[in-house]
Amino acid sequence: MSQNRQVRDVVFVDGVRTPFGRAGDKGIYAGTRADDLVVKCIRALLRRNPQLPPERIDEVAIAATTQTGDQGLTIGRTAALLAGLPNSVPGFAIDRMCAGAMTAVTTTASGIGFGSYDVVLAGGVEHMGHHPMGAGADPNPRFLSERIVDPAALNMGNTAENLQDRFPAITKDRADAYAVASQAKFAAASAGGRILPDLVPVATLRPGAGWTVNTVDEPPRPGTTLADLASLRTPFRAHGRVTAGNAAGLNDGATVALLASAGAAEELGLPVKMRLVQYAFAGVEPSVMGIGPVPATEKALKLAGLTIDDIGLIEINEAFAVQVLSFLDHFGIADDDPRVNRYGGAIAVGHPLASSGVRLMTQLARQFAEDPSVRFGMTTMCIGLGMGATVIWENPHFTPNRPPTSQARPGTPAAVAPNTEGSAA
């Protein structure tokens, strides 16, 4: 029987997220639990997809980088119970630092492809206000005594400065210009109604201020200029190049995606927003972890039988502008290429670590619907301790010879269809 098993197609049905907040006592989620943010997303997905019987959900995978407190206790299972899913629905927690939600998606997608699941929920949460990055961690002393990892690599800002040392063509002015563009693109996408449809309103209570319903992201700074960024201090190195203006901030938020086999989606009448083509993870030197998306993308493209020119839309997580620019330079892509982060990125909207992967997917899915001229898109990100992750998706709305939208510059359709047989392997 096992010798005749066929790998099944995996589809992205839907994805939602909470508005992202600024970490800290003044942030919108200062008094809100991390697990409650996940619950909001799960319940929203069920409301948006009423044709899905909750008992048909086979797994709930939720990632968190700091798995303690309100992000601990096997958060996939606890969030499923808190959301009111049947007791029969299992769940688990996952950790791959910034790529937590992305790994939750690829892990459960593999189960769908193998035939173990039909429908899953996968996402991530990070409450950096409650759990600052690295808080409570106890790195093995061998990391330093045996020089396995440069001490600077344990601070992500230092790794960004190291990356700029390695690529002197990526100047601070260039990084600042990229950051200004990210803010402007996100502001335009928000004004155009492209962000709000996938946000889950979250009511929060603040002492002395009563209840507030949060419906928009807190971190963006529309109207940011180069002059605004030029005077910011460089906290990771004297006379450095990485600032709070050309990097993602410290944020709180949650994301959850609904995935299914193509057959289950058809049976249940669920929409198909993307089809999974291939994915890959790769390791790099921890001290320059930001370069991780490069080998991960090369690996994923090779497995899929595609080239970077086949990719018509790229959603890359903007942990730091230098990290994005090193990726673009490697593949010969211009800083302002309209394929890249069409709605802006984490420099504007924020990066609640383990949750960000599904934000990239949700934005890509909406861009696919807007632009049928694009066949393939990609979500990619760097990962702490020296890794990268890339997931390649196919647009179910793709129409050959369709003129691109005014924003688009589509990739060249592949001469041969990608090898989807390995998409969930």
pLDDT digits (tens, 9 = 90+) for 104-126: 999 999 999 999 999 999 999 99
Burial 174-190 (b: 16+ CB within 10 A, else e): bbbbbbbbbbbbbbebb
CA distances from 405 to 222, 367, 408 (A): 24, 10, 5
Phi, psi dihedrals of residue 371, rounded to the nearest 5°: -130, 85
254 sits in which H/E element: strand 251-261
Other beta carbons within 10 angstroms of residue 115's beta carbon come to 14
Q: Could you tell me which residues come within 8 angstroms of residue 129 by beta carbon, excluding any fewer than 6 positions away?
A: 21, 23, 24, 25, 27, 29, 30, 250, 252
At residue 424, the pLDDT reads 35
Taking each helix axis from N to C end, the angle separating 156-166 and 321-330, rounded to the nearest 10 degrees, works out to 40
41 in catalytic set = no
Given 41, 127, 130, 382, the catalytic residue: 382
Contacts of 184 (CB under 8 A, 6+ apart): 222, 224, 344
Q: What size, in residues, is the chain?
A: 425
Nearest to 105 by CA among 127, 115, 92, 120: 120
pLDDT means per 10 residues in the chain (425 residues)?
Answer: 78 98 95 97 98 98 96 97 98 97 98 98 98 86 85 83 93 97 98 97 88 96 96 91 96 98 98 98 95 98 98 98 98 98 98 98 98 98 96 96 60 35 34
10 Å CB burial of residue 374 (0-12, 13-18, 19+) is buried
- The question of whether 397 is a catalytic residue gets the answer no
Of the candidates 98, 127, 130, 131, the residue annotated as catalytic is 98
Tens-place pLDDT, residues 371-417: 999 999 999 999 999 999 999 999 999 998 777 765 544 333 333 33
Strand partners for 314? 340, 378
Domain ranges of the chain: 276-422
User: If one looks up domain 276-422 in CATH, what number appears?
Assistant: 3.40.47.10
Among 147, 151, 182, 205, smallest CA distance to 30 is for: 205
Buried/exposed 384-413: b ≥16 CB within 10 Å, e otherwise: bbbbbbbbbbbbbbbeeeeeebeebebbee
| The pTM of the whole model exceeds 0.85 | yes
pLDDT at 343: 98
Q: Which amino acid is at 305?
A: G
Q: Which of 41, 239, 351, 397 is catalytic?
A: 351
Q: Which two tokens stand for residue 380?
A: 């990619």
Token pair, residue 32, equals: 């809100």
